[in-house]
Amino acid sequence: MLQGAVWLGGYEAALRYERHRPEQTLLYQIVEQHYPRFLAQLAAEERFLSEYVQQEFTDYLKCGRLEHGFLRVRCDSCHHEKLVAFSCKRRGFCPSCGARRMVESAALLVDEVLPKKPIRQWVLTVPFPLRFLFAAYPELMSKVLGIVIRTLSTHLAHQAGFKKKEAHTGAVTLIQRFGSALNLNIHFHMLFLDGVYVDDGAGHFAFHTNKAPTSEQLTELLHTISQRIAGFLERRGLLQRDEDNSTLTLDELDEDPMQELHSHSVTYRIAMGPQQGRKVFTLQTIPPRQEPPPGSERVAKLAGELGTEGLIVSQLALPAYPFLYIPTFFPVLIQFAV
């Protein structure tokens, strides 16, 4: 039979292949029912989705469906057969392909990339205008991410008592494009070595562990990152600053049919239909709290320079990783600062 076994807590558990049936899931049913109507409404308004977005939906509706192609798997011993449908292998919103990529990426990082050293997660979120800018122009996002990586690398070297040229560190950046409400919310999850490697002069590199950053250091880091990002955008002609305000100037950038959808998503507003422009209804339960929430000393916030919501940076120590969880749909960028 096409089955196997795995040891879980000292007990042998049988594994049996079960074909994924996406047509039975709520997400698939919603897309299948409403996506054609969505395209028809856009066409009636003489508006069209980008080709790569349409391909994402089309391939998802074919993922895991036998009528769109499959492999016939046969057991050599008992001659039992199973049909395995082709997958879409897309990065957008397919839960099956996203979960498989999540597991494979985590295994790659743990087994082949990350050393057995302390790791600290740094998270940087940006204000609404920059979320829109990064979504529309990923090449600018890459430049800004480079600024953030260099700033944090320099901080780690100085905290360990070395100059930037003497110390070496590394990071794995995972770029998340959405928030808890599926709104457009581009932010960076960065797994940094919690220390630096330094050459001892004999060709060997010794690892020096850093202490956790203080709230004052986080605030200073955030100011530095904000100023450098603002300076970069100003040099590119995308930011105008006066004594009171900083505003993005996007007039010279190319038009894109996705920009209107981006602008609605980033502000939690409905983009299409009779309720276009209205705020999305959300349910939240916020318990009353008098004292600062736990972990607040690990978070720094800055408003004003780049938008009303401002930049937020947080960090969390990961001293050991028996497993590594990478949320689905994350592009992974590995950067080593040398």
Model confidence pLDDT, tens digit, residues 25-46: 999 999 999 999 989 988 888 8
Burial of 232 (0-12, 13-18, 19+ CB in 10 A): middle
Q: What is the dihedral of CA 305, 309, 311, 314, to 10 degrees?
A: 150
What does the pLDDT read at residue 93? Answer: 85
Q: Distance (Å, rounded) from C-alpha 174 to C-alpha 325? A: 11
- Do 155 and 54 sit in the same domain of this protein? no
Q: Does the residue 136 lie in any domain?
A: yes
Residue 163 in domain = yes
What is the reported pLDDT for 57? 95
Together in a domain, 135 and 77: no
Considering the domain architecture, whether residues 79 and 132 belong to the same structural domain is answered as no
Spans in the chain with pLDDT lower than 50: 1-6, 8-9, 11-13, 304-309, 319-338
Region class of 165: left (phi > 0), else alpha (psi between -120 and 50), else beta = alpha
Q: Is the same domain home to 301 and 197?
A: yes
Q: Is residue 245 part of a domain?
A: yes
- In-domain check, residue 106: no
Judged on CB neighbours under 10 Å (0-12, 13-18, 19+), 242 is exposed
Please choose, from the candidates 225, 216, 219, 159, the residue with its C-alpha nearest in 3D space to the C-alpha of residue 190: 225
Within-domain flag for 105: no
Give tens-digit pLDDT for 250-290.
665 556 667 778 888 888 888 777 788 888 766 655 555 55
Say whether both 260 and 130 belong to one domain.
yes
Residue with tokens 């960090």: 315
Tell whether 136 and 77 lie within a shared domain: no
Q: Is 141 found in the same domain as 282?
A: yes
Q: What is the pLDDT of residue 323?
A: 41
Q: Are 77 and 124 members of one domain?
A: no
> Which residue, 177, 167, 171, 153, is CA-closest to 109?
171
148 shares a domain with 258: yes
Rounded to the nearest angstrom, the gap between the alpha carbon of residue 272 and the centroid of all alpha carbons in its chain is 26
Which residue has 């009528």 as its token pair?
67
3-state SS assignment for residue 214: coil
pLDDT at 309: 46
pLDDT for residue 326: 42
Domain extent at residue 326 = 117-286+294-337
In a domain, 76, yes or no: yes
Domain boundary among 61, 85, 109: 85
- Can you list the alpha helix ranges (DSSP code H) found in the chain? 26-44, 51-62, 95-108, 128-136, 138-159, 215-235, 259-266
For 193, the token pair is 């070595």
Q: What residues pair up with 206 in beta bridges, in sequence order?
A: 198
The total domain count for the chain is 2
- Which residue type occupies 28? Y
What pLDDT shows up at residue 257?
65
Tell me the helix, strand and coil percentages in the chain, rounded to 5.
35, 25, 40
Q: Is residue 109 part of a domain?
A: no
Q: Residues 90, 60: contact at Cβ < 8 Å? A: yes
Whether residues 222 and 274 fall in one domain: yes
- Locate 166 and state its tokens: 């003497």
Whether residue 35 is contained in a domain is answered as: yes
Q: How high is the pLDDT of residue 295?
A: 60
Domain end, chosen from 85, 107, 140, is at: 85
**Quick one: how many helices (H) and strands (E) in the chain?**
7, 14
Burial class (CB in 10 A: 0-12, 13-18, 19+), 35: middle
Write down the pTM of the prediction.
0.77
- Both 78 and 157 in a single domain? no
Phi, psi of 64 (to 5 degrees): 75, 5
62-97 as b/e, with b when 16 or more CB fall inside 10 Å?
ebbbeeeeeeeeeeeeeeeebeebebbebebbbbbb
Helix (H, G, I), strand (E, B) or coil at 88: coil
pLDDT at 22: 93
213 and 67 both lie in a single domain: no
